[in-house]
Structure 1
């Protein structure tokens, strides 16, 4: 299982601090892919630039696609640019391959406010699959990358988060948080513009 697939399960199964937006989750999933490419030794960071090495053959289709999508030549791509480019529509791609709990269908915004945490559902017959057990175990262990990405996407639990012991992973988490914040600022501007437009039409 990859970090991105674990993140998708956490998002589908777990409680959310707020409704999970597709764009936020897509950015976090792109960050999860980059984290796995880093820990697998397939890429390194030179400052904020993603420098590819050997092309991955992980056996995971989407992660291999991520590796194949890396920019090959200098000046390479910044982490931020990677998140925005790779993240486009990524939540829908992972949702289409995720295994929903029995009797449920995926929605493009996978928020289920009444659901329990992955650790709580691990013993349920309908939810007890190897993938869910693995994600639940990783979540319960306090994995800093998974917890940090989930928090950025709005699928985590409130509270202080553990920090990764790797500077590159810390940089990826920071970039994901910055990108999600930027995306929310864009949404806010659009809401303000839409409200102003509506007021113009409603004015006598």
Structure 2
């Protein structure tokens, strides 16, 4: 079942009502309150420009448990050499703009619309969305951003302008979240890159148990 949302009514159905495609709802808006409700309910938006706002609660869910993080020997060498400088939540809009504009193999466009950019920047202003940045000198060469729920970080997108920069962002974020006592890093849906770093798929019901266990 796919629910059609009213932009004037703040509501999401229970994730148990999600269509087998992973889509739970269409429509609504990208207001701060709706986005916060979505993420705290195990739901996230994912759609392209010109399409209706599409809300997802996929089953299975891709996550990283920090004790399963895979850091290759070559990546350990990169990290130990100090090739990159890492910062936390100092250039959120710039990270999002790069995620929006940096070309990706096999993708013709971006799902980060201008409306989504502005919506997540508003979330950043209230501390609900955060970024990690990777620099070479004064140039931003990699990073990622996501929603910080306080016990789970929901990763949204990452970019890399030079080799290994996005991996460095992911690894440093994982180290930080583990040190701060977070339960897991939500990676949402499967891809080979995340799997190579140790992310795994778990049943949606198990993800929801972690989400609600504060």
Q: Give me the TM-score of the superposition, normalised by structure 1.
A: 0.26
Greater per-residue strand proportion: 2
The higher radius of gyration belongs to 1
Greater per-residue helix proportion: 1
Q: Give me the TM-score of the superposition, normalised by structure 2.
A: 0.25
Q: Which has the higher contact order (CA 8 A, sep 6+)?
A: 1
